[in-house]
A and B are shown apart, each in its own frame.
Chain A
Amino acid sequence: GAGVSQTPSNKVTEKGKYVELRCDPISGHTALYWYRQSLGQGPEFLIYFQGTGAADDSGLPNDRFFAVRPEGSVSTLKIQRTERGDSAVYLCASSPRTEDSHSNQPQHFGDGTRLSIL
């Protein structure tokens, strides 16, 4: 497929458990983003990768949240000791971005992972 792929599409788990959400960006896209969308709200930024490094993690809500992109392609968002308030749709996006912020490129989103914490 040509688009951003996210797995699983749905995840239900109990409070306190650990979860991993996977994102496979569009081939060749160097920039990868994670957002979180709660019901009735727009997506909220979590973290941005340029290549393998996290260039901006200012949106991560606390230290229970962590993300990696070890080879500069697939990324995993990891949530420890999940809480009911973590329930949301987690969206991943990618773009053919480089460090040049004046090269305006839209971000292309996957269909998200719906995370439900019981």
Chain B
Amino acid sequence: DQQVKQNSPSLSVQEGRISILNCDYTNSMFDYFLWYKKYPAEGPTFLISISSIKDKNEDGRFTVFLNKSAKHLSLHIVPSQPGDSAVYFCAARAEGAQKLVFGQGTRLTINP
């Protein structure tokens, strides 16, 4: 079963506007969540993370929001820039475990 789901395979946003990427999870034991960005032929690059004891974490243009009751998290990028065009993966780690469980990814395209 898919414990981490990114239901939007792709998203297109105009440069300068806000990009919102969504992720849902089913495992209530997840306590640490991460977002990774991936360019073609490169490995995933860590962007930002959030612990389950928080509901928001901000780092520059990137903000992650966590809604534990809804088992939902989102990544906001504002303002969006052409270099943000990439595939974004949501990942989660269960309490007591080390492995990450990834979503299927969302391809973000920033249009000039």
Give 1 or 0 for each of B69-87: 1 = CB within 8 Å of chain A CB. 0000000000000000000
Within 8 A of B (CB), among A56-87: 56, 58-59
Q: Once the chains are docked, how many angstroms separate the CA of A35 from the CA of B89?
A: 14
Say which residue of A56, A104, A110, A112 sits within 8 Å of B99 (CB atoms): A56
Say which residue of A41, A42, A97 sits within 8 Å of B98 (CB atoms): A97
Q: How many A-B residue pairs have CB under 8 A?
A: 63
Q: Once the chains are docked, how many angstroms separate the CA of A58 from the CA of B103?
A: 19
Any B CB within 8 A of the CB of A21:
no
Q: Once the chains are docked, how many angstroms separate the CA of A42 from the CA of B104?
A: 4
Shortest distance from the beta carbon of A94 to any chain B beta carbon, whole Å: 11
Check A55 against B98 for contact (C-beta < 8 Å): yes
Closest to A89 in B: B43
Q: Once the chains are docked, how many angstroms separate the CA of A48 from the CA of B97?
A: 10
Closest to B43 in A: A109
Shortest distance from the beta carbon of A8 to any chain B beta carbon, whole Å: 14
B95 proximity list for chain A (CB < 8 A): 101
| Interface residues in chain B, defined as those with a beta carbon under 8 Å from any beta carbon in chain A | 4, 32, 34, 36, 41-46, 49, 51, 89, 91, 95-105
- Given contacts A41-B104, A101-B98, could you give 12 more A-B pairs where the C-beta distance is less than 8 Å? A40-B105, A41-B105, A42-B91, A45-B99, A56-B98, A91-B44, A93-B43, A104-B51, A106-B49, A107-B46, A108-B46, A109-B46
Q: Name the 9 nearest CB pairs between A and B, nearest first.
A: A42-B102, A109-B43, A45-B99, A106-B46, A111-B43, A109-B44, A48-B98, A43-B102, A104-B32
